[in-house]
Amino acid sequence: MGLGLALGPLRSAHGQVDTTDAAAPDTLQRAPTDTTRRSPADTTQPSPADTADASPQPLRPQPVAPPLYGRARTDSIPGRLPHVSVEMMLADQVGGFLYDLGEYGWPHGWSPRGLAPHRVHLWFDGFSLDHALTGRPRFELLPPSFLSPPRTGFDPGGGAVGVHTSWRAYEPKRPITELRYRFDNSGLHAIEAGHSQKRRLDLFGRPGLLHLTFGYGGRKADGVYDGSRLRKERRIWGRLQYQTNDWTFELSDRSSLYRIGAHGGAIPPGETFSTIYALPVAGSSVRAPNAQRKTVRNDLTARVRGPLVPLLDRRAELSAGWTSNASDFRPDRGTTDTTWTVKMDGGHLRFRQSLRVGAHTLTGSVRGALWRVDEGNVPQIDGTRGAAHALLRDSLRLGATDLVVDAGGHVATEQTYPSLTARARRSVGPLRLSASVTATGQRDAWIEDDGFAPYVWALNGERSGIADHVIEGTVEARTEGGPFALGLNAFAHQIRNAVDLYAVSTGASPPTTITDTVAARAPSTPVQRAGLTLSLGWREDARRGLYATGRGTLLESLRSDASPLHARLARTLPRAYGEGRIGARFVLFTDLTTDLYVRARGWTAMNSRWLHPPTGRLVVPPRQAPIPNAPGLDVGPSGTVDVRAEVQLRSAQLFFTFQNIQAGTQLQPGTFVVPVYPLPPQQFRFGVFWPIFD
């Protein structure tokens, strides 16, 4: 009965299916005025021959420029996927591992190919969306419904991995409104609503197109454990775009308000550690249940595309942005108000130009950002920090091989370093081959260089100001034969001066419990890792019937005994992890296209990482006590099992998820990836994505 009530309104929306393909090819161009008829009383209207030159000029705006960096794993818009956040989408990338905290809005971490989560950098519409103080990518600030599919690859800021996304292009010419709603049995209610419409608007005698897009997103979630509540999340954005045949002008703004609990981890309420999963009693047994983090951020961006450079036929792009960001952390210290606040302003600038020289397609770009502390009560965080990046890309085809080379120079307030990346791709019969090599650096985060008392101890003086040096190589092969697909990915990297945050104790003894104190440290010799991922698929793209996919990764830390820091860092990831999916696609009642599947993931024993509540960073735990107050226990081996159904009803997409169904049973009392933040057991989640064409 409940399913029927949920589907009832959607069935009544039969008339909302997009029928633009049946309409005239160009519904934005004004029809010419009918001059073949005139009233006998009207003697002022000229003859048709006199008005031939007055017909409107044709409007053929330039298509949206394709993304320059990264590859997307899927071309589906994020709103149509069951994932609730960008990090969950990235978890499907080959070789990636997700530090899943379980709760909505929390700072989950994504580790690609054995790299630490803070080595992933988020770029939105060409500008950095990393936290200016902590260096953490702010995935939780992005509303999935309004985004283009996230892409991973080259980092224009000179880091190891870049994640790129932007506002949706909204190709339909008809006005469209999209709704995305989610709820679950732990108090989640989330809504995202976006609207886009295009209107013909001629200015100064030239044909033009006005494109208006705006959206709103709001979420709240009670959470399973005290102190994990997503108290308030509001996201408002708008974009005004005007296009002519040669130029595009764009103004956009995004405003975010984000307030969430920041408890310090669950504590077993009983004598045994497994009582940590005994809900609802265990739900109130957490450290610092009243701690909170808050972010208020606004991003204003202006952009122009057109023939900015004389004598070049390819259009250039110039973008400028202004960001205001206020970050608060309120620890749980009873009635004492010790809220730490830092308010910052940032300016951003980017210019990009492409040109063709023989067989080479060259793309040059320069970008920079400058951050200033406007107000705060953290003595170490003051002044300004900036960075500038100059990049040149060369794309060409050599025989059957596609080759891309990126070279760059990077100047930051504390560090200066070059970068070089080369990628090659070739098909040999049914075999698709690719390889890449990267040599780059990474600037330290502000809190790593200057500290954040009393929570973060800064780098030692002799280490501060030295950029990391990263060398990474990857090789990929993929082939398909009949219903089967096979993929193999090998990767390895070496990092010199690998700065990370390590849990420390305020006393002389090693830390055995989670504290809010960490220290920025770097091993004296390089950190090295190598890994291999095997991917298998059977009828993975089948429209009907059974299918199965799976992948597994083996990871090895080389020279893990070189120092205590090496040993601690090596245990932050499991030696083996993977996931599998088996399902069936079928049609019910003629119009319910259903994808029903079981998804499982697992990992071997590890120490994982600890969450640092004041900054949201994932830090390296002590080697001998990775689980607080539980000496001798490891994180894993363990895993999770989900049952999902994705149902398409005409233009609407519905999602049903039974998550972590194995938890809370005799098979498994519970599990976590990050100590000690248990994944909510046996969660039921429902969602719907519904586009409505006006």
265: left (phi over 0), alpha (psi -120 to 50) or beta: left
Residue predicted with more confidence, 200 or 28: 200
Residue 329, φ and ψ in degrees, nearest 5: -135, 125
The answer to whether residue 642 scores a pLDDT higher than 80 is: yes
Any idea which residue has 């996230």 for tokens?
A: 150
Q: What are phi and psi of 333, to 5 degrees?
A: -130, 45
> Which of residues 576 and 269 earns the better pLDDT score?
576
Which domains occur in the chain, in start order? 71-693 (2.40.170.20)
pLDDT tens string 384-400 = 999 999 999 999 999 89
Over 50: is that where the pLDDT of 54 sits?
no
For residue 21, pLDDT over 60 is answered with no
Q: What value does the mean pLDDT take over residues 56-78? A: 76
Between 507 and 658, the more confident residue is: 658
What pLDDT does 335 receive? 54
Closest residue by Cα to residue 568 from 603, 521, 616: 521
Question: Considering the chain, what is the average pLDDT of its residues?
Answer: 87
**Distance, CA of 125 to CA of 105 (rounded, Å):** 22
Hey, what amino acid is at 669? Answer: P
> Please, which pLDDT band fits residue 45 given cuts at 50, 70 and 90?
very low
Which residue from 224, 216, 230, 186 is spatially nearest to 686, judged by alpha carbons? 186
Q: Per-residue pLDDT tens for 253-312?
A: 999 999 999 999 999 888 888 899 988 888 888 988 999 999 999 999 999 999 999 888
Q: Say how far apart CA 36 and CA 38 lie, in whole Å.
A: 7
Task: Provide the terminal-to-terminal Cα distance of the chain, rounded to the nearest Å.
Answer: 30
328-340 burial, b at 16+ Cβ within 10 Å, e below that, comes to: ebbbbeeeeeeeb
Peptide bond into 454 cis (omega under 30): yes
- pLDDT category of residue 313 using cuts at 50, 70 and 90: confident
pTM: 0.88
pLDDT for residue 18 is more than 60: no
Task: Find out whether 670 and 679 touch, Cβ atoms under 8 Å.
Answer: yes
What is the Cα–Cα distance from 146 to 6, expressed in whole angstroms?
A: 24
Identify any residues that bridge with 112 across adjacent strands, giving them in sequence order: 96
**Residue 37: which pLDDT band, with cuts at 50, 70 and 90?**
very low
Q: Tell me which amino acid residue 340 is.
A: W
Question: Structure tokens of 236?
Answer: 């408002």
* Residue 29 pLDDT > 80: no
pLDDT of 25: 36
Residue 346 — pLDDT band, cuts 50, 70, 90?
Answer: very high
How far is the C-alpha of 142 from the C-alpha of 251, rounded, in Å?
18
Nearest residue to 444 via CA among 471, 472, 415, 410: 415
Amino acid at residue number 26:
D
Q: Is the pLDDT of residue 42 over 90?
A: no
Read off the pLDDT of each residue in 141-149 and give the average, rounded to a whole number.
89
Residues whose CB is less than 8 angstroms from the CB of residue 180 and which lie 6 or more positions away in sequence, other chains included: 79, 144, 145, 190, 191, 192, 193, 687, 688, 689, 690
CB within 8 A of 82, min separation 6: which ones?
644, 646, 655, 657, 687
Helix, strand or coil, per DSSP, at residue 237: strand
Residue 233 CA to residue 380 CA, distance in Å, equals 29
Evaluate if residue 194 carries a pLDDT over 90: yes
The answer on pLDDT for 3 being more than 70 is no
Mean pLDDT of 71-85: 82
Neighbour tally for 434: CB within 10 Å: 18
CA 213, CA 252: separation in Å to the nearest integer? Answer: 9
- Band the pLDDT of 567: cuts 50, 70, 90: very high
